[in-house]
Chains A and B, each alone.
Chain A
Amino acid sequence: MNRRDFFKIVTATGAAAATAGCQGASEQILPLVVPNEQLVPGVASWFATVCRECPAGCGVLARNRDGRVVKLEGNPDHPVGQGALCVRGQAALQGLYHPDRFPGPLVREGAGLKPATWENAQKILVDRLGALRGGGRGRAVALVTQLENGSLGALADTWARALGTRARVTLEPFGYEAIRAANRITFGRAAVPHYAFEEARVVLSFGADFVETWLSPVAYTRAFARMHTFRDGRAGTFIHVEPRQSLTAANADEWIRNAPGTEGLVALAILKLMLEDGLVDRRFADAVVGIDVKKVAAGSGVDEATLRHVAKAFGHARPGLAIGGGVAVSGSNATRTQVAINLLNAAAGNVGRTIRFGPDAAWGKVTPYAEVADLVEAMARGEIEVLLLGQGVNPVHALPAGLKFAAAVRKVGLVVSFATQPDETTALAHVVLPDTHWLEAWGDFSPREGVTGLLQPTMAPVRDARQTGDVLLGVGRAVLGSEEGKGPLPWASFEQYLKAAWEPAVRGEWAGALRQGGVWREVAPVAVQAKAGPVEAGAAALEGDASGFALLPYPSLRFYDGRGASHAWLQESPDTMTQAVWDAWVEVPAEAATRLGVATGDVLRVTSPHGAIELPAYVSATLHPTAVAIPLGHRYAPYHVPRYVAAAPTAMTPAALLGPARDAASGGAAWLGVRVTLAKTGARRPLAILQATHDQDHRELAQHVDLRAAREQALRGRAAPHEPISMYADHVYPGYHWGLAIDVDACVGCQACVVACQAENNVPVAGKASAAYGRQLHWIRIERWAEGPAAQPTNTFLPMLCQHCEVAPCEPVCPVFAAYRTEEGLNGQVYNRCVGTRYCGNNCPYHVRRFNWFQYEFPAPLEVQLNPDVTVRQLGIMEKCTMCIQRIIAGKDHARDEKRTVRDGDILTACQQTCPTQAITFGDLKGEKNAVSALRHSPRAYTVLEELGTRPGVTYLKKVVREHA
């Protein structure tokens, strides 16, 4: 019996998710026909695989309950991510169970795509390929995939060679070509190196949004936290240069706002000042001969004093790390900027220490944008007869409109898509051969040299899908007229191909590799020599009328290039900086807003030489006055409308505004390439912004301490806080006393915990209108509190969840004991007892209690993802964070099996498990040795709204703010 039958069968058992209120008793219980040793009904089993939501390739463990994957967690053994997952990785489940997923192969009939059998659908492709091949016109066939540097890629290339098609194009909207080109120029090595953040004392970033999307966000965020978070008196410094206060910028100890496109100049100016102070290698002096610091200061809007102390800080750092990326550093001068940054590193002697060539990132394998452009031109000229688009690519949506992909693709005779769900590109496809979701698929991916992760099916396909590898093999053989075991494509299936390809690497240890999730080895760093030549500096050239605003189209933390946008969880997890959900917006600098008389929510018409889109404005006090910013990749999935949003706007992504501009040196797309003009349309589209205000009104919710003071306390320890006075005897805990500690200094506001919690605890999605009206249902939220000058605020990210107070205001007011104090120090919430008076919700000073205003639905097949260990709440019920009670129970159960008590670290809450910066710690407060107790007694420890005497079970550690380095 294969997993698919098993899936069918076990989902039929009544063991599925529960609803408070006894409805839907299942009529039948179905046993297995043949026992499956891998899966015991009611017991979770874990499958290691690799996340393919972006090319970072983090390791994943998929939790399979009764044949369906219900939760994803980072794979602790995997070098990338090391157990953490980002918000997109957590939400991948919604791609697996996406209600819009193609039910099976589709063939275009007139306007629409109609269901077809695999045979017929493939036959169309086979015939066309056969004809072309017969006519010797194999070059008229093009294969485009996302970054597939493993077996699938290899197989595709073999296939392409066998059929004599064009070389496969690996399409990634962000190819980091500037970095590759710059490294070729400076170090003679066109690769994306590995950056060892954890080694650096000072990180100087030029627009590189590593907390959001840059290269490998999870891995680098974790490494950054290791370098930056205050630990026993030591903490590194992080300086960020960017025109816009991105999430990464908000995490910087010093955010330097520069004019768009001037990063290169700033970098060189800093280098020059470092040279002047004699802090660095004089060999690099001639790189900055043309640089006049005063001019740069004037041009970039970064005053000289700032430049000087940054130079000092970076120069003194042994080692430091300078990085560049993001939209701001992807203009016409991208490569030159990166070269300048390379020189900074080289001069400061960071190369080889914090920058390591050798373990190069997979990004190096992305097809240059120039070649993509060539393909598009070929298509436009009608030279392409057959275009095969692999899973994960949506060029119509993701590529700059200036490339005119949509127009070109219409010229293609046969467009075949392997996408799993409908998007702008499949709308133009003739045949859809849905690929399996990566959680259902075999495969492998190598995020960087020496690390190769293995993908394995974690469950039976939810829909009638076939792995692209299998389809290619089948089609290829049909075209070649060869059969299994013979010819250039002998493999029976892609699985077989994969195993064959891996045999030399694992040498029979296949099962072990699968269990571990791949194989990894240390790769020795390659020594490189920096070539110190003069750099012709200059600001990025911008197209469009000079009075307009420089457009910053930035990849969003939640949607990346748009791959995440169809996931409701991501749509509803707020953008941490604006706290907006669901809709897209254009970030307008405050000055311009007042000039245009625009308020947040007014719809603006954003016009560039290449197009125009209409978006609601978000007035930002921090954005550089000459720029506007729009997140990339915004789109709705069909099932979002009208369920979660009233209507789907035509275009929400700024890709529609971009021209064909390129970075001269590398040929990469120039995301920073146009100026736009703004015009009020008069319409209003209020944004759903979850946080009422970013000003904490002196209430000390998010507290911080100066680095010096923190050191002081770390050494001397802090004066013992006075014991709270009470008329009542202290609460006694017969068994455990669970508690949570959250290090505010570590939290970067990436929202991963929010979605992890949503997945773990069956938290429904409310939709835009509800969320806008304070009816969102997240059990944990990331608040952004801003202090200091409006234009240059210091941001603190405060994860807020049920505080599990010992003296909980919510408990005594409940008339039916639905809220009460458990023996183990939790604040229990008994759903089936709740009557819904909402008194507790009023009386909770933290407002972390969530109410089921309606009967929220889980559109099929999303309900299959529901965690069977957690009740699905009926309408009219109050709910809130339970500290993952189901995990606590499981942990205790496991300990009982081993006839012991729970050890520290046995139990991880969902939020803690996924946190890239390990800001959250759960454990038993009674054990003095336990990590959580240690943190609770840390000098930085405090509780929110302490003066109310609620005695929370959640301890926070103050953020450490650095006096300017």
Chain B
Amino acid sequence: MRPPTFADVNRDVLRTLEPPGNRYFAWMCVVALILSAGILFWAGQVWWGIGMAGKRVPQMWALYITTFVFWIGIGHAGTLISAVLYLFRARWRTSIYRAAEAMTIFAVMTAGLFPLIHAGRMWFAYFLLPYPNQRYLWPNFRSPLVWDVFAISTYFSISTVFFIVGLVPDVAALRDASTGWRRRIYAMLALGWEGSDTQWRHYRRAYGLFAALATPLVLSVHSVVSWDFAMALVPGWHSTLFAPFFVDGAIFSGFAMVAVLVLPMRHFFGLHAYIQDRHLDAISKLILVTGLVLTYFYVCEIFTSLYSGDHIEKASLFWKVTKTYAWALWLMYFCNCVAPLVFFVRKARTNPVVIYVVSILVLIGMWFERFNIIVPSLGHGFYPYAWGIFVPSATDTGILIGSFAWFFLLFLGFIKVMPSLSIVEVKETLPPPMRDKGHGGQH
């Protein structure tokens, strides 16, 4: 088929911003309801105490931290696509990176809630911030939790800046295409962008630098999160393997989530011209590769604890594999190691249904990976007196589900007010208009 022209791009992208139908609002309502339920549970927990959640000795951490790590992981694909792939000049990223970035920001916004939800005295959470106060007190910078505060807030701000900068030229395009109050708003957001050569010059340089800064950041954030565990003494946590292990897992789940979001977009907005099979293929390949790497890490994990010869390490491992929570472990192995293998089949890599199913499985698997790291490890630690089984309560589960609602609410809102496809970058990938076709067209 004929590749779309620049004008087509504007047209198609603008089409995604047309007033939505009832289906859309129905979804919004459902999501909003679930979210409010989650908020009620949280309120109850703040009022009556953390005891409302199923936490106990020895599982002082459980679902909240699990879900926190899960969302942080999701938050990885976005910046990875927009930064790393940008530096590698991977052209196929252009049609999905906007959605991915939005996803990143919303995922981090979701994740950011969980440390608060988790804290026993959430109203004193500001103690973790380093600011001069009349008590002359400062946070303990040796604590991985304070590293988290820095890593995540940095990651959030940089991603957001990156995201907004990327939006500016597109918003300018919206401005010039829209009228009335919309136009005024977009005009404000566009900062008076005109696409003059000077603007482009600095813009592109800055964009490159952002990408360069964001790349190490992506890798650092989840490493830091992984150190929440690796720095601790708990058998099953105390491992140098964790940083790369977590980063890979994050990318893995991140791409799965991208697929889960992009495929419906493509379907409902009819963006097949831009999100083509080669894009799906690329995503699938990435999921496959990261999945294989993850499998390797699983093997390493088991091997190290066996090879360590440390009785307690081994006891913890055997307990995980065979006892109460074994089902969760095996479910995880299936979702993260077996399911992605279908992508060895070329056809599967471009089949939306297959991709969708696998991605969902991967998301489930990755949530359970965090669960398996936290709950069983804590449940069978150093001290037999305190071995115990964690049972989630209504509050845990309610808040967990609520967090998904919160995420999708943000995303649904986003796709209707902002171009979920980068107008500029898509155009870049198209052959530029030439009068004599002999010349150019190498793209």
Contacts and interface: CB of A to CB of B under 8 A. Distances in A.
In the complex, are there CB atoms of A and B closer than 8 Å?
A: yes
Given A816-B128, A853-B51, A877-B120, A838 B381 contact: no
B384 A841 contact: no
A728 interface: no
Contact of B232 (A835, A837, A843, A851): A843
A222 B51 CA distance: 41
A565 B374 CA distance: 39
Nearest to B311: A698
B57 A852 contact: no
Contacts of B142: 812
Tell me the dominant secondary structure on chain A's binding face: loop
A699 interface: yes
Interface of A: 21, 690-693, 695-699, 701, 770, 773-775, 781, 783, 800, 809, 812-817, 833-839, 841-843, 845-847, 850-855, 874-878, 945, 948
Interface stretch (B21-29, B143-151, B271-279): B143-151
B122 to A, nearest CB: 8
A852 B60 CA distance: 11
Given A775-B57, A835-B119, A853-B50, A814 B233 contact: no
A854 B395 CA distance: 14
A697 B312 CA distance: 9
Contacts of B56: 773-775
B232 A809 contact: yes
Given A695-B384, A774-B388, A948-B382, A876 B49 contact: yes
6 cross-chain pairs, A with B, having the tightest CB-CB distances, nearest first: A836-B120, A876-B120, A853-B51, A847-B386, A838-B60, A876-B121
Interface in B382-438: 382-388
A770 B393 CA distance: 14
A847 B385 contact: yes
A835 B143 contact: no
A809 B385 contact: no
Given A691-B385, A783-B385, A847-B381, 9 more contacts: A701-B385, A770-B51, A774-B58, A813-B144, A815-B140, A842-B234, A845-B382, A853-B50, A854-B51
Nearest to B146: A815
17 contacts: A691-B385, A692-B386, A699-B312, A699-B384, A774-B58, A774-B388, A814-B140, A815-B140, A815-B145, A816-B137, A837-B118, A842-B58, A842-B61, A842-B232, A843-B233, A851-B57, A876-B119
B388 A812 contact: no
Contacts of A854: 48-49, 51
Interface string B106-132: 000000000100111110110110000
B121 A945 contact: no
Contacts of B384: 692-693, 695-697, 699, 701
Contact of B120 (A770, A813, A814, A838): A838
A695 B315 CA distance: 13
B231 interface: yes
A881 to B, nearest CB: 15
A754 to B, nearest CB: 14
B139 interface: yes
B305 to A, nearest CB: 16
A932 to B, nearest CB: 24
A850 B385 CA distance: 14
B320 interface: no
Contacts of B383: 699, 701, 845-847, 945
A813 B61 CA distance: 14
A838 B49 contact: no
Nearest to B387: A692
B222 interface: no
B142 to A, nearest CB: 5
B50 A842 contact: no
A749 to B, nearest CB: 14
A845 B238 CA distance: 12
Given A774-B56, A815-B140, A817-B137, A835 B49 contact: no
B378 interface: yes
B370 interface: no
Contacts of A698: 311
A874 B121 contact: yes
A836 B128 contact: no
Contact of A839 (B127, B145, B315, B381): B145
Nearest to A833: B127
Nearest to A770: B51
Contacts of A852: 49, 120
A839 B374 CA distance: 12
Contacts of B144: 813, 839
A146 to B, nearest CB: 38
A770 B121 CA distance: 20
B55 interface: yes
A839 B234 contact: no
A836 B51 contact: no
Contacts of A774: 56-58, 386, 388
A815 B128 contact: yes
A833 B48 CA distance: 20
Interface in B51-110: 51, 55-58, 60-61
A813 B58 contact: no
A815 B121 contact: no
Contacts of B115: 837
Contacts of A847: 57-58, 381, 383, 385-386
A701 B60 CA distance: 22
Nearest to A850: B57
A293 B115 CA distance: 71
Contacts of A800: 385
